[in-house]
């Protein structure tokens, strides 16, 4: 098949692009490099630097494309609170621009990587795809808005659309920006370097951590699965883990003791969030295979930043 991946030089995009070309597919990747790095892309991936809102550029890239993975987005909850205009422009505007170009190019299927963050605070756990959405940040609102635009434009123009709500993905070479870094590589770096691991709300809040390879398998399955048009599917581990328990697992994996800095006053976000993954099994024939313990070991083996 011929694929286009927006955000194709990012963490998930790179892993997906490399997987697909290894399977013999033709893959184009588009990225503005605001957060991505094309150096890790397989040479067989045809990389283009550009903005996902550039419709004329999209027209050229979409020629002959069978399926689009829409991964281009700003992805930090905390950053979105500071820069809601940019998050709306890139995440929502980028989705609308892409779907407009897809309509013009006649692409058959578009798969959006959305986020478990869109659920917000939920009383019922694990959260199912039919839960009442309570987005509580500009990032979460932007992802939910993108879902609505994807499905509505898809229905109007008979484009098959699929939404995968990805929970906390992690794995080797996950970016570590100076601010608002993802929790697992941040905690690993701090533990390995003798720094302090900050636990907001005492580290009691729970999350669902899913290994990047498992996410890639779910994305790949969504390209050819039947009965997935207009669906929303959770992609997570289905395992609920507190951040305090995460620190303990990192200590076990590294053999080092983390210096905990407890901040009980500041909120750590929603108190609980874990995915119900039954639908992914039914529609994608998918389930996660890599446990957190295994995933942390892989990061320590493959990622030069965490070498002992």
Nearest to 31 by CA among 53, 55, 48: 48
Longest dimension (CA), the chain: 56
Query: What is the three-class DSSP state of 111?
Result: strand
Inter-residue contact 125 to 272 (CB < 8 Å): yes
Q: Is 139 a catalytic residue?
A: yes
Which residues lie closer than 8 Å to 198 by C-beta, 6 or more apart? 261, 263
Report the alpha-carbon distance of residue 186 to residue 198 in Å, rounded: 10
C-alpha radius of gyration, the chain, whole number: 19
The active-site residue out of 69, 87, 119, 139 is 139
Nearest to 276 by CA among 169, 167, 171: 167
Report the alpha-carbon distance of residue 99 to residue 92 in Å, rounded: 11
DSSP state of 246: H
Residue with tokens 């505007």: 93
Report the alpha-carbon distance of residue 171 to residue 215 in Å, rounded: 10
DSSP state of 124: S
For the annotated catalytic residues, the residue numbers are 139
């Amino acid at each position: 098949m011929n694929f286009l991946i927006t955000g194709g030089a990012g963490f998930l995009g790179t892993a997906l692009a490399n997987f697909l070309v290894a399977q013999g597919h033709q893959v184009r990747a588009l990225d503005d490099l605001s957060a991505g790095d094309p150096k890790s892309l397989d040479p067989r991936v045809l990389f283009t630097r550009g903005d996902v809102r550039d419709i004329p550029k999209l027209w050229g890239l979409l020629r002959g494309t069978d399926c689009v993975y829409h991964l281009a987005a700003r992805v930090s909850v905390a950053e979105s609170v500071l820069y809601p205009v940019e998050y709306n422009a890139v995440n929502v505007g980028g989705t609308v621009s892409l779907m407009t170009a897809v309509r013009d190019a006649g692409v058959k299927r578009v798969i959006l990587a959305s986020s478990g963050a869109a659920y917000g605070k939920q009383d019922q756990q694990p959260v199912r795809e039919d839960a009442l959405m309570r987005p509580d940040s500009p990032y979460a609102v932007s992802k939910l808005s993108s879902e609505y635009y994807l499905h509505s434009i898809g229905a109007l123009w008979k484009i098959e659309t699929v939404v995968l709500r990805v929970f906390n993905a992690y794995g080797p070479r996950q970016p570590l920006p100076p601010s608002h870094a993802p929790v697992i590589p941040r905690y690993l770096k701090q533990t390995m370097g003798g720094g302090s691991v900050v636990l907001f709300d005492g580290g009691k809040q729970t999350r669902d951590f899913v290994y990047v390879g498992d996410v890639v398998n779910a994305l790949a399955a969504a390209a050819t699965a039947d009965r997935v048009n207009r669906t929303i599917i959770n992609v997570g581990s289905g395992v609920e883990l507190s951040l305090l328990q995460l620190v303990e697992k990192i200590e076990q994996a590294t053999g080092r003791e983390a210096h905990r800095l407890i901040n009980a006053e500041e909120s750590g976000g929603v108190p609980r969030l874990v995915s119900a993954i039954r639908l992914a099994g039914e529609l994608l024939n998918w389930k996660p295979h890599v446990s957190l313990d295994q995933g942390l070991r892989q990061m320590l083996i493959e990622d030069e930043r965490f070498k002992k």
